[in-house]
Amino acid sequence: MVVRIRADVDGAPDRHEWPIRIGIAIPFNAPTKSGLPSPDEDSALGYIEAMICSTAGDRAVLVIVITTSGMREFVLHARTHDWLSAFHEELRAAVPSRYVQMMADEHPSWSVYESFWN
């Protein structure tokens, strides 16, 4: 497992204003024997990450990227959920070669973030 975490949001005074946790999972097309992406796939996933961030814009903040067992998950936090259905469809259309899975739920405690940070 490889985890990247945004340290600059730890203890941020406005975290409570971002209660919606979004998980975007992208299964690898051809994982290595260890379940990690090949260099080419890692590059493609970097493009997908940049697209997720630019498409979300200021509506969400990327807080964790988890790479493990044949997939990469991007964990974001948002203020509202009203835009998420269109966001998911936009991602799926932009990356037709991937199965883009997305879930969102109320998660004001940021426990997923906390579980990796602390």
Where in the sequence is the domain holding 63, given as residue range(s)?
2-9+19-117
Whether the pLDDT of residue 118 is over 80: the answer is: no
Does 48 map to a domain?
yes
Does 14 map to a domain?
no
Give how many domains the chain has, as a whole number.
Answer: 1
Does 26 map to a domain?
yes
Which of 98, 36, 109 minimizes the C-alpha distance to 66? 36
Q: Confidence class of residue 23 from pLDDT cuts 50, 70 and 90?
A: very high
Q: Could you read off the pLDDT of 43-67 as tens digits, one per residue?
A: 999 999 999 999 999 999 999 999 9
CATH number at residue 28: 3.30.70.600
Whether the pLDDT of residue 104 is over 90: the answer is: yes
| Residue type at 32 in one-letter notation | T
Distances (CA, A) of 11 to 8, 50, 80, 118: 8, 25, 21, 12
Does 77 map to a domain?
yes
Which of 48, 44, 82 minimizes the C-alpha distance to 62? 48
Spell 83-112 as b/e; 16+ CB within 10 A means b: ebeebbebbeeebeebebebebeebeebeb
Distance CA 111, CA 65 (A): 15
Task: Quote the percentage of the chain above a pLDDT of 90.
Answer: 81
Does 53 map to a domain?
yes
Does 42 map to a domain?
yes
Q: Name the residue with higher pLDDT: 74 or 15.
A: 74
Round the average pLDDT of the chain to a whole number and report it. Answer: 94
> What is the DSSP secondary-structure string of 10-60?
TT-TTGGG--EEEEEEEE-SS--TTSPPPHHHHHHHHHHHHHHHHHHGGGE
Mean pLDDT value across residues 34-40: 93
pTM of the model: 0.94
